[in-house]
Structure 1
Amino acid sequence: MRSRYTAYVVRDEDHLFRTWHPTTRPAEVEVDPSLTWTGLDVLEAGGNDDEGIVEFAAHWTSGEGAVRQRGAVRERSRFTRRAGRWFYLDAVRSGD
């Protein structure tokens, strides 16, 4: 989870693609260049050796000066382990 957040921060689309489960990932992964990611709060994490759930809030800013906006993406993400590696499967978002 933290490596995927970091990939959004540094715009590493290749890492996001490689850590997204092949059955649910899009054909291309694109990071919105207008967002600056400013923090990650892991709210809950749990699971077992093969499946996990992470609920988090990822904070962002966009724009400058008087038009600067702030927000957060809150998501409950499901992960699954495949061949010893964790993959992002899907999520339920709750607010932007």
Structure 2
Amino acid sequence: MVTIRPDHDLMSQARQAAGTPDWQATYRRRRPPVERAVAWLVGHGNRRLRYRGTIKNNAWLHTRAAAFNLRALINLGLTHNGTTWQIGAAA
């Protein structure tokens, strides 16, 4: 028996788009930062979930992701001048 899913046409279009050079170039540009983020989370003891239930684990993962994003912003030069936050600007 063959079952065709409701999103079959959309998936087919996405697969065709993934074969184009533009899509592949964008993917190559975006993939390394995502892989680094996952590697950082896993490397800092975040391979296993800490709690039972999705609500607590969702909050825990969002906290970890926020920590990663804050670290990335600081590496980009995030500064505070007393009133506002700036990236790459002198304080």
TM-score (norm 1): 0.21
Q: Which has the higher contact order (CA 8 A, sep 6+)?
A: 1
Q: Which structure: greater helix fraction?
A: 2
TM-score (norm 2): 0.21
Q: Which structure: greater strand fraction?
A: 1
Larger radius of gyration: 2
